[in-house]
Chain A
Amino acid sequence: MSFPISAALLDAIVLSVVAQEPEGTYGYKITQQVTHTLELSESTLYPVLRRLQKDQLLTVYDAPFNGRNRRYYQITSAGREQLAAYAQEWSRYRSSIDTFFREVE
């Protein structure tokens, strides 16, 4: 049994994963971290990262790794603000949904 994850929630999750690495992190690692916890297809993350980048909530830079450039994602200050807003909204949403389950035995 699983609940669908909305795009907004996915944005929030990805923002928070990227925010944990102030120096930046990369696509494969982000994907592993998210799919470790959530049942989600690995190919779901690229469109999310691309969208967040276009919205300037994430920024990217390339840095060499093992003789090749690797793309790193870093959260922007707008991204942090958005993440804080998402966290607040999530907590509101969670408590409103929780009201349905208050009396579930």
Chain B
Amino acid sequence: MTRTAFLAALEQLLAPLPESERKDALSYYEDYLDAAGPENEARAIAELGSPEEVARKILDEQSPQGASAAPASPAPRSRWRMVLGGGLAVLVLACFFFQHSKATPVQPVEPASSAADSSSVPEEASSSYLAVLADTVPLTIPADDLGESTLQIPLEKLDQELKLSLNYGSVTFVTDPSLTSDKYATFQFDNFPHSPVLRTTGGDGRTTLTFEMPENWQVAEDAPEAMLTVTIPADALTRLLISLETGDVRLAPMQLKTLTVALTNGSLRAENLTVTRDLLIELPAGKCMIDHLSIAEYASIAATYCIRLHLDGDPADYTTDARTDDVVRIGNKEYDKRYTSSGSNGTLNLYAKGLIYLNVDEQRPA
């Protein structure tokens, strides 16, 4: 497109504007092409895009609703639903901010490990709460200001890797086929504060969901438990990484190549879990209970309280190193502090302060 044709088209397209605005824009682009110089003119015109595009940007800016600069429009407060399939790199899905301001970050309280019995502890011991630094006043989020949201992500966006990183709330995986679409994984957030869930999707089947409690906020003590429920086919994921600061994780039967679970204050429960390459579990203030675990290569589980596993086959068939401050019980035998074995079924490293039970229930009389 020649300079003359470009400017003529632009002038026509800007007809809706007041004359002074139109003249200003035209003189800007005349200037622009002068400055580019005759030798760069064709390239400069091509880079600007079509006159329609150039004009649309100018008209958008003029129209009152056009400015994309405007702060996020007010959103429904309590319920939001989105189905997103696009390939956007990062989407801040929902930015519902309370009118509160900020101060120091919320700090998870250190687990009361000194007080904790090193043997198995009751369920409630793994629950946790948020506190703030002493010199700040926490802004409490009332229980009725917690909301729900549902997000659907196409399975191909996460078939290589799904990473969940939440500093508040628990996570449950559901693989009930009757609940599962074969195209989307559903992420249901219940009782979460209305602050952004950050979603990062690579074009390569990797998705990360991050939730961070806004600075200096805490949830009211009577708040219902925050829970992210992920509904997904049992074999949809290859790598799953879950990192939580306050909550627990419960996994439905599923098959994975790699599973990493790191819970600062929580426990892990799973059933019929198959991990063909690496299983890494770190529970510095929790316990680990896996009803039926099948590993092929490597598993490392560290839990402060106790580990209870039902392994596929005899623990002696694995290369096992199980260490505890208490006892390792395998079937009806007890080993003080440590149990090792060398087998060909894969490597199993276990460490707990409390009891380690391997295949105990299987040995019970029916």
Residues of A bordering B, CB below 8 Å: 1-3, 6-8, 10-11, 26-29, 31, 35, 41-44, 46-47, 49-51, 66, 68, 70-71, 96, 99-100, 103
CB <8 Å contact, A27 and B35: yes
B29's partner among A1, A10, A41, A46 (CB-CB below 8 A) is: A46
Cα–Cα distance between A49 and B34 once the two chains are bound (Å): 18
CB <8 Å contact, A70 and B31: yes
- 15 A-B residue contacts at CB 8 Å? A1-B203, A3-B89, A7-B68, A7-B70, A35-B47, A41-B57, A43-B48, A43-B49, A43-B57, A46-B29, A47-B61, A50-B61, A68-B34, A70-B35, A99-B212
Shortest beta-carbon distance, B21 to chain A, in Å?
8
* Interface range on chain B (Cβ under 8 Å from partner): 35 or more
Residues of B within 8 A of A43 (CB): 48-49, 53-54, 57
CB <8 Å contact, A8 and B69: yes
Cβ of B210 within 8 Å of any chain A Cβ, yes or no, is yes
Cα–Cα distance between A11 and B61 once the two chains are bound (Å): 13
Cα–Cα distance between A2 and B25 once the two chains are bound (Å): 29
Residues of B within 8 A of A31 (CB): 32
CB <8 Å contact, A103 and B35: no
* With A3-B89, A47-B57 already in contact, 13 other A-B pairs whose C-beta atoms are closer than 8 Å: A3-B90, A6-B69, A8-B69, A11-B69, A26-B31, A41-B48, A41-B49, A43-B54, A46-B25, A46-B29, A99-B105, A100-B165, A103-B165
Interface SS, B side:
helix
Cα–Cα distance between A28 and B58 once the two chains are bound (Å): 17
Cα–Cα distance between A7 and B66 once the two chains are bound (Å): 11
CB <8 Å contact, A71 and B48: no
Q: Tell me which residues from 1 to 60 in chain B have a Cβ below 8 Å from any Cβ of chain A.
A: 24-25, 27-29, 31-32, 34-36, 44, 47-49, 53-54, 57-58, 60
With A1-B89, A46-B25 in contact, is A28–B31 under 8 Å at CB? yes
Residues of B bordering A, CB below 8 Å: 24-25, 27-29, 31-32, 34-36, 44, 47-49, 53-54, 57-58, 60-61, 67-70, 89-90, 105, 165, 198, 202-203, 210, 212, 215, 243
Residues of B within 8 A of A66 (CB): 34
B35's partner among A7, A28, A51, A96 (CB-CB below 8 A) is: A28
Shortest beta-carbon distance, A18 to chain B, in Å?
14
With A26-B35, A28-B32 in contact, is A6–B68 under 8 Å at CB? yes
CB <8 Å contact, A42 and B47: yes
Shortest beta-carbon distance, A29 to chain B, in Å?
7
Residues of A within 8 A of B54 (CB): 43, 46
Cα–Cα distance between A77 and B126 once the two chains are bound (Å): 57
CB <8 Å contact, A47 and B58: yes
Residues of A within 8 A of B27 (CB): 71
Residues of B within 8 A of A35 (CB): 47
CB <8 Å contact, A47 and B60: yes
Cα–Cα distance between A44 and B47 once the two chains are bound (Å): 11
Cα–Cα distance between A100 and B198 once the two chains are bound (Å): 9
Cα–Cα distance between A70 and B33 once the two chains are bound (Å): 11
Residues of A within 8 A of B69 (CB): 6-8, 10-11
Residues of A within 8 A of B57 (CB): 41, 43-44, 46-47
Shortest beta-carbon distance, A57 to chain B, in Å?
13
